[in-house]
Structure 1
Amino acid sequence: MRAGLIGRGHPAGVLRAEIGRATASHGGLVLVTGEAGIGKTTLVTDAMEVAREQGALVLSGSCWDSDAAPGFWPWVQVVRGLRRQTTAEEWAAVEEAAGGQLAVLLGESGDPADGFGMYDAVTSALVAMSQRRPVLVVLDDLHWADPSSVRLLEFVAQHTWFERLLLVGTYRDVEVEATEHPLAPLVLPLLTKATTVTLTGLDRDEVGALMTRTVGIAPTSDLVAEVHLRTGGNPFFVEQTVRLWYSGGSVTDVAPGVRDAVRRRLSLLPEPVSRLLSSAAVLGREFHRQVLAASVGEPVAHVDRHLGQAVAARLVSTLGDGRFAFAHDLVRETLYLGLGDAVAGERHAAVVRALDSSPALAGRIFPADLARHAYLGRASLEPRQVVDVLVVAAKDARRRSAYEESANHYRRAVALLSPTDPRRARIALDFGVQLHNLGERDEAWRVLEEVAGAALSGDDLDVLVRSALTLYGLASAEDREKLKEDLLRAAYARLNPGSAPPAGSLDHLAQEVIVRLIAIARDDGDDEVLEFSLWTQHDRLWGMGHAAQRLALTDELATIARRTGDREMEQYAVSLGWVATFELNDPSYHERFRAFLALVAEPPRTQVSDMCHIDRNIIATLHGRFDEAAAHLATAREGELPDGFSHVDHHLEWAMWLLQGRFEDLGDVRARATEVKHPLPTLLEGITAACRGEAATARECLAELESRRDPQSGAYEPLMTRLRVQVAVATGDVDRCATLHDELVPHEGTWLVSLYGCDLSGPVTLWLGHLSLTRGDTRSATRYFEAARKSADLMGARPWSVEAKAGLAAALTGAPAAELRAQVAREAASLGMRHLASDVEPLPHNEFRCTGETWSLSMAGRTVHVPDSKGLRDLHVLLRAPGKEIPATRLLNPSGGETVTATGGDPLLDEEARTRYRARLSTLDELIEEADTAGEDQKAAAYDREREALLTELRTATGLGGRTRRLGDEAERARKTVTARIRDTLRKLDTSHPELATHLRATVTTGTTCAYHPEVGITWQS
């Protein structure tokens, strides 16, 4: 393919091959098709250059879209070119072969022959020329040709097949083939004789290359994507669009030449199809056939028929499941702009009415799209109906954490309501919250203060209570604390008539309001209010010491969600439930996490389903499976995290890298955190500095944080505690260590959990150990670090177990400390925790450890993670007791108490039955031999199946040495079961970890008792 062609490698290759055949032996007919602007002329122009380079005579003619064009007009141009490019001698020979008709064709003499005579004359002339040198004839724009020219093309093609003559024609197939075009009966038969090259749009990368070549600069990937979407990759449209953009216009503008080309295509459609597509344009780039039919008030069958014609014209394409899409946005926009504002508004309103009267179609259109229709069609709809649709869309966007989209819907809804409308305050409250989430604090508080004023002066108890609790939970300056207090006092008074508000802090007053609201909601059976109040209570309890309360709340919220059919809320509540369970140092968080994964795997998919990889990343990081954690985070990013979650994405990566000691990869922590709008970039910078050993920077960050009021105190309180501990330890501040120790002791036995579970910063006992060590209390430090190690092992948190062992090694002295430091170095190296790994060659690391969902198996330098199985649990018990004979009954039922050794019970088969079985086997051997001799294969096979069944029965009833097995023999059942599942596990390990499988086969024995007999020096971390 030549440098001038972009994205046309295959079509250009086809034409080159045809030219090569024509120059060597024989030609043929090639038809190049595609829509206007797709690059047909560019492609054949390139082919003409190739043909000239190969010594061919190149002739061309273009058809003309005009009634004034004479008959055979493109052929007149071909013959003129023939005369111009030949010598006098050649022209004379060609003219003679044509019987003198070429001059007649050119209008220079005589009367033309009849149609056949002219066909024969032109054909003879071209044949004569092709005998001297190869000839390429190109006829461009055949869709504008006169019928005689097309018939002549067919005639020449049919009578020159074995000549060195190649015919190439171009035409717009979408015009000729998909409509009642007058040339359709003439052009379509050519397809059976021709090699057809159909050009389609360029792909995204090719569009980018064309844009670069057109304007001389490389566009951004987003700009390329937008242009590709709008133009469908049509080269002419791409060039016109990018030139308009480069000259200062918008990429969404439609260049005049493009608009004219699209309008021409649309003008060729039957009027009913064009009218239907105009209504489809109102629906958007993609639309559903049933929604379109409902909005235009026509039967689906009629709509299907018209859409079929639009598909044939390649103006729309099918997406499956009843969905369609415009070929590109330029088609849709041209149709939409042709409607005018008034008509377009009415058709938007028609969509809303159609969906309102057909609830079954609700799933065919997104809430945001329906909100757009309602707003654009508001002049023809009732304001209340428009507001209802906007609020539904705003709540849907809020569930997706698309706060900006949600705020826009709420803004429009509030603007449509009068100040006296009772709904305005409730909707404005949600609007203010979304603005606050977006960081638009000034506008948010302007809206919220207006709501607060209405709530205090009005009679709506629901608005008052919601306003009081909502504003209380939002960060604000000191001057708004009085407003929060007024709202809470008023809410308390309305909820508790005749009772004075309790004395104490604002937090205490808020708690009293929440508790009373929960009680009323439960009494009234009001799930909506109960849900609001429980979530409010849950969110205010973030921070240390409240995990048990949050767990109870999430369990109740999950129950409400199941009762109301709110799948997404149930998923969210279950997710937060495993987080609270983990914070309590309860290993049953494994089961809760698995229950969450099972829940999000069930249809239908929700936003929480799409974000489950965040939970998977947290768990994988906790267990030290860092590669897996990174893969889950990458998957979450590929799924396009919702608006407002970029800082969560960043925090997860920061926590993962920090635990690995990848300090060099963290770079400028504050700058990166600020870029993604992390609420507390200084907090991340301070903790990172402390981990790097930069005590001065960590102290400065802590001072900066403590100098201002923390707007996220609950969600980030444990991380703040971690930073305080690290700074006190790094600076050797003994007094501060003592104070922090006393503050943390009440939380001993729990974990530091922040950011709704996105940050797990180790067991509290780990930090108590560091505080005690800094104070010189090595006895307490040793106790705390050992407790932290046990806690981490219990929870499957391998990196934190290594951190605890590192602290313990620092508290110990002599040989035990040295041995423990070596162990820490080996484990850290195996996990990839660079800051704790030793620089020396790590010793062999053997591990057989359950990490909750999976087992981590390490040996001979290979580490794998495999799913849980009973066989792995059996092996784990054996490896923890090397050389010890363990009864199979104990492995079969680890919690079953005493070992079963009984061998009594009734025989599976008595002696008489065994004798009959053996006699029948002898008879079957004779019958099989007779059947084989007689050639009765089917009978022999039947006898053989019976014989095998009897043998199986005998094997089941017979033990080692022919001893009879007995019914009720628990030891025998355990022997069979345990042996089978260990063998099955080893077969699977042959693939995933062959070294470990080989070792275990050589060292593990199974039977009534099982044992592990390793070589000397083999130890396992389990």
Structure 2
Amino acid sequence: MGEWSAPALPAGWTISGQPPFVARHDEVAALESAWADVLAGAGRVVLVSGEPGSGKSRLVAEVCTKLHAAGATVLFGACALEFGAPFEPFVDPLRALVAADRSESDATGRGETDATSRVETDATSRSESFELLDRVLTRSIHDAEARVAGPDRMFDAVLDVLQSATAARPIVLVLDDLHWAGPAAVRLLVRVVVGMQAHRLLLVGTFRNAPPDRSGVLVDAVASLNRLSGVERIELAPFTTEEITEYVMANAGLTPSGARDSAEALSELTGGNAFLLREMWRRVVEAERRDGARIIELPDSVGDLVRSRLATLEPAQRVVLELAAVLGQEVEVNELVALDEASADHTLGAMDAAVRAGLIESPREPGDRYRFPHAIARQAVIDAMSSGDLLRTHAHIAQTLEADFPTTPELIQRLAHHYSAARALGFGDRAITYLIRAAELSEHRYASEDAGRMLQQAAAISSDAGERGELLLRAAADWDLAADTARARLLYEEVAETGDARQRLRAAMGYEDASWRPGLLGHRARDLLSAGLASVPEDPADPLYVEALGSFARATAFTGSVDEAERIGDRAVELARALDHPMTLASVLRSTSTLTLRPRGIAKRQARSRELLELTRSTDNEWMAAATLHIFANSYLLGERADLEASAVALTEMSRKWGGHWNYWVACLRFGRALIAGRLDDAAVAYRQAQRDEIAFRGDATPGANAVQEYMLRRESGRLDPIRRVITGEESPVEHWAPGLLALYTDLGLETPTRRVLDWLLERTESSSADSSVWSARLVFLAEAALLLGDAEVARRVHAWLSEYAGLNLMAGIFLAPFGPADCYLGELESLVGAGDPMPRFESALDLAERTGAPLHVARTLAATAAHLRRVDPRSREATDYAARARAIAAPAGMARVLRSLDSADATAAAAPGGLTSREREVIGLIAEGRSNRDIAARLMISEHTAANHVRSILTKIGAENRTQAAMFARERGLA
């Protein structure tokens, strides 16, 4: 994007007759300093807040006008209170950039432009971004293509366009009245601030920070942005008496002493509010000049001020001004003339009278608009109207605009606003019609939050139960697309309780779909689906019934009843195939390919995921991402590296298009892949991104799946020790997640607490626990605890459960906790109990780890193999070779856990004759004291069977034939 003509400055900035700009010296300096930083190549954000009338817009206008005069490119956008377009205040600035790009493309060709000014980002992506914004911002909704992406693609397109523009020139982007921005625009604001930190953009935003205009959504966003470098907050304080004195001197031409008395009176009357000061200073100065009056009767508020000025108008003139106020902050002359039932001369005469009264500003040139001097002045005119007059005025405006101005900008939003305001007069149906159309426009522009809000508003107006249910279902789908699954679930639940039979079933399906992705348990979804299915006929030929069965299967799986879920899912797939309806089959495959991560049936689930991918490949919707995610998860379990890499690329592209919860899954994907590759710094970056995405995705900041990722990262990078300071060893397994507590005790080497929680868990572990999504994590943590304690009895029990996973990688969740080959754990357990031949297990594990492309798993398997060989022969040269290979991988990558295990094994081999473990050294010392197996079990608080296993292992390792020889061995080597 080369040379181009930027839009003109807002007319309100350049009108003559404004009072001189005074004070605000520090604020001006801050803005000018920020612009200097931008000229030097940095991105800067200045957020200006204050009460209504404090002078926010005037400050920004003054500084930006000067910057513009000095050659700066200034783009301006503002929010409207009642009927703003989706993504206001970004729309006008983006339209200007898209139009400039289109003009340049027509003149020079896209290729030349890309070659010269889009050097930082792929040219194809930039071109697609300009085309996307061109389509959604400048074309009719009816001319647009079907939506083939999610809101995040729109956000990325905005960043592409802004980055391309600022690569050619530094830009000032002014966003006025952000307190009226919709939730989608606020989310875009955050993305722009974060994404433009390294680009030459000065973003200046203004907003009110006091009720009733204070926006909770914006407040939360600003709080998060304040933590970023390059973001500055300016809060405008009321003018001081000294500053008011300066203002009076500049306006009235008085000396400092002459202006001081008027300034003191004005300070008391206005509280230092800039708007009130502008409106009242003249009367105060004139009164002082006339008679030096110290008591001046002036309005107590803006409302009183406006009412006093309204009283100077004739009734017919006042009606015209009220029409103007309800029309908007800026008023088109032709619309006002059409609305006034008198002649055009009467309308213009009435507005002239309002201008003379100081209630509105006249157009400065042909084609310009009337403007209220401030939003609070306009609101004061509206507040002075009776409720009946206000309703009738809204209705009159809506009907006139609809009949006479079919092409006026933002007509749909305006009609939605005016008809909604007039619904008490019988315009509810029209309000619903235009709210729906406005929502569709928001959907077209990827403003899903705005669409959901308007559809909810339409539902609240509707008196028809069926229509209300449909509107709420659509609203819930929009909130879900905006990644606000919590709000979506609330709406789905409402319809599931109040809609008709088929609406209740559809709502139950929506609730379930908005539940499993954040990882919520399926009990509530199953209850809703069960009731919904019971309310419709059991009809295998009904696509809705069949799809609901698939959803019911997934909800059942998320209650832990996986066997039952698979039976239901198989039936749903069978019925879907019989229907010969591709999208019904795709829906059921999507539901049933993610029932569990357990090994049984993995080939069937992988085949379903592949079939789903083929069914949806031509549709270009986000179901492709669901198929890809499941293929990715299964490919890790199976160790299919090529599919892992291909799925990762595809899922990343899906995330770029659809955003929302797919951003979270991609962050998990990046975390897991970096972790198993031993790129622990990259894993930490991905973990933090997943943490941010999980909070946005789940709708709260409570610890979730991300806590498991943090643990995995800490344990592999050796950063668990700081937690030791807050661990007592007495933590309750009821109040904490018991498997996680066991893992923490084990990693910290706290044997007594480990034993306590291990026993507690084993007492409560049933075969049905295998249906849990965290069963593999539980098995890993049980195995590691058994290995720490040297408990052969527990090792055998865990080995039996773990055998089902032989030949596969273990993973809890989808890359929340990738543990690596199950065969490695099986080999370690076999080595501990002295059963079987562990070496084939380790060889199988090493092969799987290498096929997976997971250096972390390779290093751990090599270390485990070395530990086994040293258990058999402390002087094993083969063990030394395995350990060296493991260390060569682990040391450069900082795999602290692997290195610690290698160091521990080396120390044990050097210090312990016969390769005895620490627990075995305790046991042989008790043998030397003449203790029986029962005595040993009691002393060490282990079972007699475990004590016997330790004795057999000791005799094997030291080559002793009986306990007497073992006792002699202990005394000779100082172990007794």
TM-score by length of 1: 0.48
**Which of structures 1 and 2 has the larger relative contact order (alpha carbons within 8 angstroms, sep 6+)?**
2
TM-score by length of 2: 0.50
